[in-house]
Amino acid sequence: MPSLSQSSHWRPGPIISPPRCRCRRTMPSTRCGRQRITSMLFIYDKTGAAIDLPGDGQLHRIADIGWYDLFNPTDEESAAVEAATGIDLPSRDELSDIEPSSRLYIENDALFLTASLVYRVDSQIAGLADTGFILSRDSLITVRHAEPRAFKIFTTNMRRTCDFKGGGDILASLLETIVDRTAEVLENASRAVDDMTTSVFLVETQNRPDRATRDLEAQLVEIAALQRLVAKARESLNSLSRVTAYMASQPQFASVRANKEKCKSVNRDIKSLSEHAGFIAGNITFLLDACLGLISVQQNNVMKIFSVMAVLIMPATLIGSIYGMNFARIPELHWAYGYPMALGAMLLSGIVPYLWFRRKGWW
């Protein structure tokens, strides 16, 4: 798997929690019945250094802003950025539009890009966050309504280095970090599939049949979560592939040779990761088929027991039915050893099929 962090001058370091300049607004909802929604605006200069927000919110007074990062922006925050840049920011509904012409376009010499980024990867409900990237006059604007971990990784390391050369360089490096994070997600998913494959076949050999079936059925939930995660990662990679290909063809971005080369490198990594994601998806399909097959085998074993028992008891039932008929003249009823003979016949009729099944390996 490619190591994307090795393809440029920027090197990711350990993740720390830096103090960042922010405009924060908390809106009531629930956590355990209430949910906390936070709106934030971060600004950085063209080298990647954080800038303190002005108290009056007048961003147009600040020169050389390289990146406006809006997370769940309020109307006031969006209006401040629009006033500073002269760009109409896309709404959440516009970001979620699936038409290519609505996700990749140029307006007023600004490059508008929308990519779907995978997030919530540590839960069983991985999702996609539609994120907007706008490049205008060497300034980058990002609009997002979720917090993929790649943004936290990138801003942490960006604050430590502060060696970028404008919004285009920031955008290329940010996409590089996003793809790198997606590679990490796929790598973790691949390890999880390997561990689960071993677990599935050990369940079959080590547990009792009744417990094995329950354990295998429980594995189906984990397999479904893995499948969802890999599917979302593949969707994200497809989206990023379209974005990087479009960026490399636009002079607003590709006029800087370093940005164009970095974009092409990221695009090659995306293609490699897409192939790897397809390989993992194939392994998940095999794992699902194996799990369902083992469950079917366990259920068939239970049905086999009932079938064999029915065959063993059937001759004895037939003998008992014959001698249980209410006819006046049944010669065996008057024999001195008629009753032991009937019991012996019933026992023998069960032993003979049992020995036959054992010889054939059916029991």
Per-residue pLDDT of 115-160, as tens digits, reads 999 999 988 889 999 999 999 888 999 999 999 999 999 998 887 7
Q: Which of 27-31, 82-86, 269-273, 307-311 has the lowest mean pLDDT?
A: 27-31
How much is the average pLDDT of 344-348? 86
| Residues 21-38 pLDDT 10s | 444 443 333 333 333 446
pLDDT at residue 231 is higher than 90: yes
Residue 315: inside a domain:
no
pLDDT of residue 204: 57
Residue 47: inside a domain:
yes
pLDDT of residue 203: 64
289 and 349: one domain? no
Last-in-domain residue among 254, 281, 297: 297
Residue 318: inside a domain:
no
Banded pLDDT at 11 (limits 50, 70, 90): very low
Q: Which residues contact residue 19 at a Cβ distance below 8 angstroms, ignoring those fewer than 6 apart?
A: none
Q: Could you give the percent of the chain with pLDDT greater than 70?
A: 86
259 and 354: one domain? no
Residue 312: inside a domain:
no
Last-in-domain residue among 297, 315, 348: 297
277 and 337: one domain? no
- Integer-rounded Cα radius of gyration of the chain: 34
**Per-residue exposure over 324-356, b if at least 16 CB sit within 10 Å of its own CB, e if not:** eeeeeeeeeeeeeeeeeebeebbeebbeebeee
| Residues 162-197 pLDDT 10s | 778 888 899 999 999 999 999 999 999 999 999 988
Q: Which amino acid is present at 182?
A: T
Q: Is 63 or 258 the better-scoring residue by pLDDT?
A: 258
232 and 293: one domain? yes
Return the ∠ at Cα 334 (arms to 333 and 336), rounded to 5°.
105
Residue 155: inside a domain:
yes
Q: Please, which residues bridge with residue 41 across strands?
A: 23, 70
Distance CA 238, CA 175 (A): 13
How much is the average pLDDT of 71-96? 91
pLDDT at residue 75 is higher than 60: yes
39 and 125: one domain? yes
Last-in-domain residue among 258, 280, 297: 297
253 and 209: one domain? yes
How much is the average pLDDT of 285-301? 86
pLDDT at residue 342 is higher than 90: no
CA dist list (Å): 275 to 2, 101, 119, 136, 230: 12, 26, 20, 33, 12
CA dist list (Å): 220 to 185, 203, 224, 302: 20, 13, 6, 21
pTM for this prediction: 0.74
155 and 32: one domain? yes
155 and 293: one domain? yes
Residue 317: inside a domain:
no
CATH of the domain at 235: 3.30.460.20
Number of domains, the chain: 2
| Mean model confidence pLDDT for the chain | 82
161 and 277: one domain? yes
130 and 266: one domain? yes
Residue 37 three-state SS: strand
347 and 293: one domain? no
149 and 226: one domain? yes
Q: Is 279 or 56 the better-scoring residue by pLDDT?
A: 279
| Domain residue limits at 351 | 323-360
Residue 314: inside a domain:
no
How much is the average pLDDT of 199-215? 69
Q: Which residues contact residue 125 at a Cβ distance below 8 angstroms, ignoring those fewer than 6 apart?
A: 225, 228
Residue closest to 139 by CA, chosen among 74, 81, 72, 77: 81
pLDDT of residue 207: 56
Residue 308: inside a domain:
no
pLDDT at residue 292 is higher than 70: yes
